[in-house]
Structure 1
């Protein structure tokens, strides 16, 4: 997804930008390597990143159509690079999801589904081979979670791939994908989805991003309920209490380390609090986010500039009120 800016207005409203590969500050070295066609540097940069973070970087790289040929060119030079093979696969997966669209299943045409499945079928053998040769390379297993979900291979297969992805340590990117598979809209059930989000949060280390699974879970419930009832759901005291608990032990914990994936986790919390009208709680995440909106969460509501600008203004006003 290309960057979409909201220019600051005369009233001093902030400029909001949806995170994309083209504008994430931490990806400057990756962008430089691609611009200079320095494929060795690109491979080195992708290899040195934390497995969780590199998966997120590859996800955003996949949203940039223009770099597809660059990734293919890099792979020709370094054909056995696990990172570059994965990056090409992530790019193919993201193209497949764009062909499907983000619409609910009942609104996706048969032609869109067939193109979606065809494109995923092209990626899957590459990932199978990669995982066979490098079974401990977690980003490839996370990608395979996504292909299993899209190809409708069943929750048990998504879970099997998830288990391989987190064999050495928990990965927020892997958890988010499994969480999707457990949602009723993907054939899962509410109890299983609730249990997973709470258990993963309880078992996570202080300061990890995993607590955002709780916020994501409630956002999914909001999306499923719809209408005025969804607003009342997010405003409930028990939902607010659980969101506060999860935020305190994860992204608001002193041990939390900011990163692109951390920005995404903060966005999930801020969005969830804002949906419930808890603007002061949402404002607690604003210093960490600034004007970086995560497309992965705000698309649940809107990516229109005027809408994002309004949300940021409401949250910012609550923050100023708290400081007064």
Structure 2
């Protein structure tokens, strides 16, 4: 469900890391896409074990649609969920909850089959699995949306399946707007829309940046929506294949100004609240600011993270996300 890593013409993206490895500036980094959330960790373990009875109880207790969607995003990445959700759906034909989890997993499972390779490196069998799983996801998610018209989650995941299926831009826009009608301030849906507007998915750089800026400014200062601006610039950097062209882009005065403003309106603003998953937003800004040479500001974010690395966006760089996080953190501490 995420975008493809690209390599520079020299074979990797090092983000301009110094040739001399700096001394460690904090605890050993740990990859934690659950951001230390104990409740979510428990649910993930239940999903791994296929304990639907326990997992269902936890999911049913979540009344906030934004929170439920956030949990489902994490559970959809758990390998093997597709093996037992079909049984759960069959055993509870009148319940939309197992169908929703199944549809969410089918989307993530589809992208796993597709891999992050460029299209020319995806085999016919991989394409077949990708399309088949997306078709299953679409069918299940639309059924959930029909049964539970107030639910946000099906429309969030339908944005990702729609992008994978290369649906018309107007159809994809409708799905985004359907999500916003249920939760106008849903950051994850805005992030999905940002990806849809990337040039590589049929959008344009101009549309992507305009959307990021407009979305940020529509929210009060202190909201996490400034992350969209940072992500848009990272996507532009990826499109330039990193390297010298990417560094030249991120260090343009106007790009630096936008990154600074976005950080000041969000993660550096006194009204910013560290709600569930805040570490993901910090990681996005830390990477963007480090690549742009704004090391002092990035250092503040790395300190707050205390070694917590997330897979995205560090996987855009060659090597492991943990290694890249540690490399940039230590570089920014110098």
Q: TM-score range by the shorter chain?
A: 0.7 to 0.9
**Structure 1 residue 124: Cα displacement:** 0.8
Query: Corresponding residue for 2:329?
Result: 312
Query: Corresponding residue for 1:216?
Result: 231
**Structure 1 residue 119: Cα displacement:** 1.0
Name the Cα RMSD after superposition: 2.7
Give the number of the structure whose residues are more often helix, by fraction.
1
1:207 to 197, 219, 222: 222
**Structure 1 residue 275: Cα displacement:** 1.2
Q: Report which stretch shifted further, 260-269 or 154-163.
A: 260-269
Equivalent residues in 2 for 1:42-81 (5 A)? 42-45=56-59, 47-48=61-62, 50-69=64-83, 71-72=85-86, 74-75=88-89, 78-81=92-95
Query: Corresponding residue for 1:250?
Result: 266
Cα distance in 2 between the residues matched to 1:27 and 1:309: 25
Are residues 1:173 and 2:188 paired? yes
Q: 1:106–1:204: structure 2 CA closer, same or farther, 3 Å change rule? A: farther
**Structure 1 residue 97: Cα displacement:** 0.5
Are residues 1:189 and 2:204 paired? yes
Structure 2: any 5+ residue segments left out of the alignment?
A: 2-22
1:18 to 31, 34, 38: 31
**TM-score if structure 2 supplies the norm length?**
0.83
**Structure 1 residue 83: Cα displacement:** 4.0
Query: Corresponding residue for 2:144?
Result: 130
Are residues 1:39 and 2:65 paired? no
**Structure 1 residue 164: Cα displacement:** 0.5
Structure 1: any 5+ residue segments left out of the alignment?
A: 2-9, 319-324
Q: Report which stretch shifted further, 81-90 or 119-128.
A: 81-90
**TM-score if structure 1 supplies the norm length?**
0.85
Count residues in correspondence: 309
Are residues 1:116 and 2:130 paired? yes
Q: Which has the bigger relative contact order, CA under 8 A and spacing at least 6?
A: 2
Q: Report which stretch shifted further, 234-243 or 255-264.
A: 255-264
1:296 to 296, 299, 312: 312
**Structure 1 residue 252: Cα displacement:** 2.5
